[in-house]
Amino acid sequence: MNEYTIFYLVFSCVAILLLFVFIRAILLSHEKKRTNRIKELDKISSVETSTPVKNHLKKTKKIAVKSIKERFTIFRRGLLLIFILILVNILAFPFMGKMPKTVISIMVAAAAVIIGTAARPFIENFIAGVVISFSPRFRLGDTLLIENQYGTIEDISLTHTVIKLWDWRHLIIPNSSMLNREFINYCVNNTYIFAYVEFFVGSDADIEQVKTIAIQAAKQCSSSLKKDPPQFWVMGMEKDGIKCWVATWADSPASAWETRINVRTAIIIGLQKYGIKTSLYTLKAEDFIPGSSLKG
């Protein structure tokens, strides 16, 4: 073994060791950030409801933190295994010239075919899980609207993502599919939402009175933020009525859900109190033709 070979082996080992320490430090930093964020969350459900589970928020946080620690522990162990394999190959490289090239080529090709065929789904989801773990697109505790399903990310494992829907059902999506789906994330930079309610009134309604009722309903909602006054807009003038929006700020997706419900209820009560008719579809004779569906 000449001096060049010794230098190559020592330099390679030191470089691999430094790279391993650097990547491990990055993993620990990301794990700490994800864990601290979960611990600081005041709300972790997509909808504020009473639940049969005691200390629901505390238990959900505990599960989320455990999920993060387990996932990053597997990353670190996998990283160690990969670097050991790389180190072994580097140490063996100077001696590979003594082995027949044909044997080496056959071994590499056979291993690639076996691993690629048997473990393709797992490898795809595993790689996607690594990408998701470091991606700012979505994190544990984020509230999403995906494929018309509204819920909170409860767990991100190495192979799949679990979304707890607003009614406590669980949507399980493979990580490789999760990366390719479009969705709305309500918590990317902050959790504030401009919660709006859409409703219709008759074309003969006093729009100023409607505005007063809607603004008052939003102001009196206990789950809305009081920093900015609610906004009211006329969004359309249809032949059957006037489309209105009223909007107010909420500090989280769960609060926005509750705000919309409370504001709708208050608007209905207010409109009924002052005898303001909403825009309703009037059934016509052709709607009752056998085999046809009701319109509107």
Look at residue 295 in the predicted model and tell me its pLDDT: 38
| 163 vs 279, higher pLDDT | 163
How far is the first Cα of the chain from the last one, in angstroms, to the nearest whole number? 86
Look at residue 287 in the predicted model and tell me its pLDDT: 39
Q: How far is the C-alpha of 95 from the C-alpha of 39, rounded, in Å?
A: 52
| 57 vs 135, higher pLDDT | 135
**Lowest-confidence segment of 12-16, 31-35, 144-148, 269-273 by average pLDDT:** 12-16
Q: How far is the C-alpha of 191 from the C-alpha of 257, rounded, in Å?
A: 13
Query: What share of the chain has pLDDT > 70, as a percent?
Result: 81
Look at residue 125 in the predicted model and tell me its pLDDT: 82
Burial of 224 (0-12, 13-18, 19+ CB in 10 A): buried
pLDDT per position as a tens digit, 21-32: 888 888 888 888
Look at residue 12 in the predicted model and tell me its pLDDT: 77
Angle formed at CA 106 by CA 101 and CA 109, multiple of 5 degrees: 120
Look at residue 104 in the predicted model and tell me its pLDDT: 62
Report the chain's mean pLDDT, rounded to a whole number. Answer: 81
| Spatial CB neighbours of 282, under 8 Å, sequence gap ≥ 6 | none
Q: How far is the C-alpha of 93 from the C-alpha of 223, rounded, in Å?
A: 66
Instruction: Tell which CATH architecture fits domain 193-273.
Output: 2-Layer Sandwich (3.30)
pLDDT beyond 90 at 173: yes
**Are the CB atoms for 176 and 128 separated by under 8 Å?**
yes
pLDDT beyond 70 at 99: no
- Residue intervals of the chain classified under CATH 3.30.70.100 are 193-273
pLDDT beyond 90 at 246: yes
DSSP code, position 225: -
Look at residue 100 in the predicted model and tell me its pLDDT: 62
pLDDT per position as a tens digit, 43-86: 777 887 666 667 777 778 887 888 888 888 877 877 887 888 77
